[in-house]
Structure 1
Amino acid sequence: MSTTGRRVGRPRAQQRADSGLSAREELLTAAAELFTTRGYAATTTRAVADRAGMRQATMYHYVAGKEDLLAELLESTVTPSLALAGKLLADDATAAEDRLWELCRSDVALLCGGPYNLGALYVLPEVRAERFAGFHRVRDELKGAYGTLLAATRAGAALDEGELALRTDLVFGLIEGVILVRRSGPERPVAAFAAATADAALRIVGARPD
């Protein structure tokens, strides 16, 4: 992202004509690129501000620092899937197998569909800090939704509590594990990859979509 010709120095509340993004969105985009290419620890706030086309001092009008950016990026990989999970849980007219498959497919498409592999940020040691409790809470809620849908399938209904928890862990681990597979094969078409992963998830459950 070139910074040539960009105005810097004053807080900006309006979208910029050159990118169509607000200042905060530009910072998030810059942080996503730098955190996933240079590494979180190696990226300074100055580097993020420069990439976004603003001075470092201006950046602090929008975010408190790197941790704010990382927290928001992490939550952006989970909250859309949690919203979809809520709709799928409420859809009693559709078979649980189909709803679980769709959640898996959509979740993988979200994790792999952006220009940067944000899921790779999950393994950062910094993410264990209390500042990221919001991300972990939303992620746990999403995992719980996976478990509820899994239990509602015909195969899941036959499992005892321990086996159900194990299958939920395996399915959720498979979905989040796509971040590693994507690293080794970023050229894979996202739609086909997402559907294949959803198929594999239901095989773990012992079910298949109707």
Structure 2
Amino acid sequence: MERMGSSGGRRVGRPRAEQRPDRGMSPRDELLAAAAELFTTRGYAATTTRAVAERAGMRQASMYHYVSGKEELLAELLESTVTPSLTLARELLSRDAAPAEERLWELCRTDVELLCGGPHNLGGLYLLPEVRAERFAGFHAVRAELKDAYRQLIAATRTGGGLAKSELDLRADLVFGLIEGVILVHRSDPDRRVAVFAEATADAALRIVGV
């Protein structure tokens, strides 16, 4: 997900309210954790900055020493669901000696585990109408690069190498759509075993490619 960004030169905030036990996290990470919980349970629009601050154990005024507001928190959470997969995709693309089919399968499996793992369904934030705003251009840029990595891996497979550009683009769209579609499936059945789900999705992706 440009994953969790640096706090840069923000000044130190005021003392935090004693509402949550100290988990050894920085104030900024506490805010991100609180936002992840509230955005995915209450909804983004229904969550106020005050609620996020209180859940993180600090005063609302102190929150602005670490982040500019809800949009910055949402942007970082969105990017945190993409950047690890993109890092892996770049590594897999460099492994020319390994069969492309195996590398594509591994990317699919890992990507699904990232989207469906963790205590909160952060992938569900993709569906927010607010995400279409220009403020989230960084997320869309990283997501586009990840999608292109999928396309390159598909093109490197035995089947993909013989596809016309339009057909290759279609297969890439279908595979990428399948991976991100797990967000809705997982949300309807959150108790599904993620590891098994991820492997089954990766298998399905290879069938789309024609492997």
Question: Under a length normalisation based on structure 2, what TM-score does the superposition of the two structures give?
Answer: 0.90
The answer to whether the 8 A contact 1:11-1:61 is kept is: no
1:147 aligns with 2:174: no
Map 1:129-168 → 2, pairs under 5 A:
129-168=133-172
1:105 aligns with 2:98: no
Q: In the alignment, which residue of structure 2 is the partner of 1:193?
A: 197
What is the Cα-based RMSD across aligned positions, in Å? 1.3
Q: In the alignment, which residue of structure 1 is the partner of 2:57?
A: 53
Q: In the alignment, which residue of structure 1 is the partner of 2:43?
A: 39
Helix, strand or coil: the match of 2:159? helix
Q: In the alignment, which residue of structure 2 is the partner of 1:3?
A: none
Q: Deviations over 1:150-185 (max 9, x none)?
A: 000001112111110000000000000000000111
- Cα distance in 1 for partners of 2:187, 2:78 equals 18
1:22 aligns with 2:22: no
Q: CA deviation at 1:18?
A: 2.3
- Cα distance in 2 for partners of 1:34, 1:17 equals 18
Q: CA deviation at 1:187?
A: 0.8
Letter in 1 for 2:133: A
- Cα distance in 2 for partners of 1:45, 1:104 equals 35
The answer to whether the 8 A contact 2:15-2:58 is kept is: no
Q: CA deviation at 1:206?
A: 0.5
Query: Which 5+ residue runs of structure 2 have no aligned equivalent?
Result: 1-12
Q: CA deviation at 1:50?
A: 0.5
- Cα distance in 1 for partners of 2:183, 2:23 equals 28
Q: In the alignment, which residue of structure 2 is the partner of 1:6?
A: none
- Cα distance in 2 for partners of 1:11, 1:148 equals 49
- Cα distance in 1 for partners of 2:187, 2:139 equals 23
Helix, strand or coil: the match of 2:66? coil
- Cα distance in 1 for partners of 2:180, 2:40 equals 16
Alignment counterpart, residue 180 of structure 1, candidates 170, 180, 184: 184
Question: Under a length normalisation based on structure 1, what TM-score does the superposition of the two structures give?
Answer: 0.91
Q: CA deviation at 1:11?
A: 5.5
Q: In the alignment, which residue of structure 2 is the partner of 1:119?
A: 123
1:128 aligns with 2:104: no
Q: In the alignment, which residue of structure 1 is the partner of 2:14?
A: 10
